[in-house]
Chains A and B, each alone.
Chain A
């Protein structure tokens, strides 16, 4: 595939489509996320994200903000107030900080989104005090944001690979860290849901990796 132009214009409607598709993807994958969380967490990651993204889809269906930044900020707020687990403030901060970084532009391009998401991911790292390699959502998000500077497809692949690569890691943050070595050999649920959101972004941009190439 030829290198994509950064120029495809992403407007508020694009981000509403993305987040609505994320809600559908979370519904579809909720039991898998919860099963992964049952192994090393408290078995609520799927249902927590389901509650949060349902609320996001509902609020965006009712009240469609005019700019990409406002869409992401509203969605982030909604996650913070509805999820009930650590993924709420973490994903809420990711979307809210990304939205703030996009400012009030009516349209943004992929490069601007990659830059803004980079600021969102940095805010997540700061909030949770985690770094890449700690077996968290950052293991999917950091490589995805780096790859998004080049293509949506690459971002989706990088996120999936990052999520799969958490399996042999020892958890250093959150409830899973109490398990010590018993956290090894389980894929991190947060990295898995993060990869789901990035893959959905690539799908909505029309640049999903070919079937079978990922996981």
Chain B
């Protein structure tokens, strides 16, 4: 992300996408930003896989991603399964690891990421971003 983007997205809620797979996390980040439209999009960071490129969850990558997207308006963390959920929950219990206004979002990963990013890019606050992502569960496909 360039310094110019960091200026333009000041005050927006940040989104962190935590997946067991680096490819999944970065692809969903790209998808969510792409669907958020052409203007300024909320900062989105991927925390996928382990630092050595394997499948798994890395608290180090999550902490770094949250710091990267924190613009002071809160950070919404979306997770895939198992250790991604447990690692974020554990980090949230620790006062000094994640930004003060960080929240784990109970949402489907892809749909929730899109809803959160669109909502955050429109300038909504953390509560509205979390609500939009959570509501993605209610959209039935059949």
Chain A residues in contact with chain B, CB under 8 A? 42, 44, 48, 80-81, 84-90, 92-93, 127-128, 174-175
Contacts and interface: CB of A to CB of B under 8 A. Distances in A.
A97 B96 CA distance: 16
Contact of A84 (B58, B81, B89, B93): B58
Interface stretch (B49-57, B106-114, B122-130): B49-57
A81 B89 contact: no
Contacts of A48: 56
B56 A84 contact: yes
B59 A81 contact: yes
Given A80-B87, A80-B90, A92-B90, A85 B59 contact: no
A86 B20 CA distance: 11
Query: Which of B59, B60, B86, B87 has most A Cβ within 10 Å?
Result: B86
Interface of B: 50, 54-60, 81-83, 86-87, 89-91, 93
A175 B55 CA distance: 14
Q: Which 4 pairs between the two chains have the least Cβ-Cβ distance?
A: A84-B56, A89-B90, A86-B83, A89-B86
A175 B81 CA distance: 9
Contacts of A87: 83
Nearest to B86: A89
A26 B56 CA distance: 20
Contacts of A86: 82-83, 86
A89 B83 contact: yes
A86 B87 CA distance: 7
Q: By CB atoms of chain A within 10 A, which of B59, B81, B89 has the most?
A: B59
B122 to A, nearest CB: 33
A81 B86 contact: no
Nearest to A44: B56
B86 A84 contact: no
Nearest to B58: A84
Contacts of A44: 56
A83 to B, nearest CB: 8
Contacts of B54: 84
A175 B82 contact: yes
9 contacts: A84-B57, A85-B57, A88-B57, A88-B59, A89-B83, A89-B90, A127-B86, A128-B86, A175-B82
B90 A127 contact: yes
A42 B56 CA distance: 11
